[in-house]
Amino acid sequence: MFLKVSILIVFFAIMICVGIYCRKSATNVQGFVLGDRNVGSWLTAFAFGTSYFSAVIFVGYAGQFGWKYGLASTWIGIGNALIGSLMAWRILGRRTRLMTQYLKSATMPDFFGARFNSSALKVAASIIVFIFLVPYTASLYNGLSRLFGMSFGIDYTWCVIGMAVLTGIYVLVGGYMATAVNDFIQGMIMLVGIVAVILSVLNGNGGFTAAVEELSHITAETAPNMNGAFVSFLGPQPLYLIGVVLLTSLGTWGLPQMVGKFYAIRDEAAIRKGTIISTVFAMIVAGGCYFLGGFGRLYGDVIEYGANGNPVYDSIIPSMLQTLPDLMIGIVIILVLSASMSTLSSLVLTSGSTLTLDIIVPAKSVKGKQMSEKSQLLCIRLLVVFFIAVSSVLAIIQAKSSVTFIAQLMGISWGALAGAFLAPFLYGLYWKRTTNAAVWVSFIVGVLIMCGCMFCTFTGQEFISPFFTSPINAGVLAMVAGLIIVPVVSLFTRVKDKDEVEKMFNCYEKEVTVRALTSLMDEEKK
């Protein structure tokens, strides 16, 4: 017990010290929200990765999908690395940095407002962010309850409050830079922790070969005639697995807290390095989490089951860790804390800055009042406190409700945000012909699909078909619908201001002088 408590205290002290150290970078809005757009490759890559993978992934998703698909769930982690990280950086990174700098936008709603010259779009996007990031944020706490209860016997409520207070301190004091530095530290912990946990669990099951052999003899309920379903290449449900891969990978392209990392990156060299670092990080952490969850069936006799006879997915990973020594338990706790706090800090900073810069400041301007830099900073900080408090209360209430699975809240929020934003953001960066009407339709369709799914989740009704009752599948439907709807609607509607759009896209064509190390050029022929 002493060892676990000591590890926890050291971790908390480091987080707070980082916040204090970075306080000088948070004296203005640009610094507090974006780190003055001067964040290097390692910090940005780790900030991207740690915002991506939270306790929801480690405890909720890894447990649920590992149980359903076995070792094939590792494909989810590989998809996260290749599609969610590598392709996201290659396709979005450079253009996002250039366009948002030209538009002077600090948030995704601000981007929509400036790119499409519409304050209404900005407000609508801000409302969507506010509504769906709060339950997303609330879901982050849930993975901690069982682990802390297992290790310390601490009530879930106190776990939530402790995590919320600590995260709030370093975000309020140091802003984006404190978040980025702590994300780097937390990311290193996650890398070491996931490798150590995997090795410990496999060792407890007689090694990799023995564990795989035992897993191969377990029959899948969804494919009873399939031999070795949980060790097969694509598992017992390939179609559902592909849906999870798409939502958790491609979906990151439309998440404001993820895309926002590209706003702050320093330069071209940082983008190139960050792409590699982020991809490797995702491959190890996400791939490792889902690989670990793939052995969940070996613990079928010790996990919890609900009244309907189905496993309580959130209990699977904690059950796998119960037999580990104190040192490993301490590492796991810090791993999950790191994953949760890094994502939480990113979400509340995104929510607070979005509501302030995209709704409150413009509303004041309409009334003829201008908010000072100091007032804007104060407002953002107050809203960060508000979002942390609301998400904490929701997490505590949700823990005692019928919605007990981490993945449910996460899936609905993720699907709504990605379904509404992915297509308009992507096309807005690449295609001049994208119109306001198309963006509006994407917003409406994405939100309606996920609201329909949410209604069915609470009522037990079918959504379109049984396949789309799942938040995962409904989220994929919303994203695909957006990718089709935006170009189709754009072709039948008018661009608001063609000349202004041309000026925006000229930011990509601006000629700059770079060092030879940044861009290799042929010598001029004499």
Indicate which CATH number applies to the domain containing 79: 1.20.1730.10
Distance of alpha carbon 43 from alpha carbon 384, whole angstroms? 22
Summarize pLDDT for 77-90 with one digit per residue, the tens.
Answer: 999 999 999 999 99
Indicate whether 352 belongs to any domain.
yes
Distance between CA atoms of residues 360 and 449, nearest Å: 29
pLDDT band at 294 (very low <50, low <70, confident <90, very high): very high
pLDDT band at 287 (very low <50, low <70, confident <90, very high): very high
> What pLDDT, on a 0 to 100 scale, did the predictor assign at position 146?
60
Q: What separation, in Å, do the N-terminal and C-terminal C-alpha atoms of the chain show?
A: 74
Q: Predicted confidence band at 425 (pLDDT cuts at 50, 70, 90)? A: very high
Q: CB under 8 Å, gap of 24 or more: what pairs does 327-332 form?
A: 327/3, 328/196, 328/197, 328/200, 329/4, 329/150, 329/151, 330/3, 330/4, 330/7, 330/8, 330/151, 331/7, 331/192, 331/193, 331/196, 331/197, 332/147, 332/193, 332/197
Largest CA distance in the chain: 82
437: in domain: yes
Residue 155's pLDDT is: 73
Which string of DSSP letters, residue by residue, matches 463-521? BSBGGGGSHHHHHHHHHHHHHHHHHHHHHTS--S-HHHHHHHHGGGT------TTTS--
pLDDT confidence of residue 209: 92
Evaluate if residue 36 carries a pLDDT over 60: yes
| Domain encompassing residue 119 | 2-397+405-507
Minimal CA–CA distance to 448: which of 482, 425, 422? 482
Residue 172's contacts (CB-CB under 8 Å, 6 or more residues apart) are 19, 381, 384, 385
Q: What is the mean pLDDT of the chain?
A: 83
Residue 515 lies in a domain: no
Number of domains in the chain: 1
pLDDT of 63-119, one tens digit each? 889 999 999 999 999 999 999 999 999 999 889 988 988 888 888 889 999 999 998
Tell me, yes or no, whether 109 lies in a domain.
Answer: yes
Q: List, for residues 238-282, the tens digit of each pLDDT value.
A: 988 988 898 889 888 988 888 888 887 877 788 888 899 999 999
Where are the extended beta strands (E) located within 135-200?
none
Residue 522 inside a domain? The answer is no
- Alpha-carbon span 169 to 15, nearest angstrom: 9
Question: Which of these ranges, 221-235, 249-263, 327-341, 439-453, has the smallest mean pLDDT?
Answer: 327-341
The answer to whether residue 521 scores a pLDDT higher than 50 is no
* pLDDT attached to residue 526: 43
> Is 523 inside a domain boundary?
no
Q: What is the mean pLDDT of residues 445-453?
A: 89
Contacts of 390 (CB under 8 A, 6+ apart): 134
**Are the beta carbons of 38 and 180 closer than 8 angstroms?**
no
Pick the closest to residue 282 from 88, 91, 37, 132 (CA basis): 88
Most confidently predicted of 326-340, 356-370, 379-393 = 379-393
Query: Among candidates 309, 385, 387, which has minimal Cα distance to 135?
Result: 387
Instruction: Tell me whether residue 512 is in a domain.
Output: no
pTM equals 0.85
Residue 269's Cβ-count burial label (10 Å; 0-12, 13-18, 19+) is middle
Closest by alpha carbon to 262, among 501, 515, 4, 35?
35
pLDDT (mean) for 159-178: 85
pLDDT of amino acid 408:
66
**What percentage of the chain carries pLDDT values higher than 70?**
89
Give the pair of three-digit tokens for residue 73.
């769930």
pLDDT at 519 over 70: no
- Domain assignment of residue 519, yes or no: no
Beta strands in 78-210 (DSSP E): none
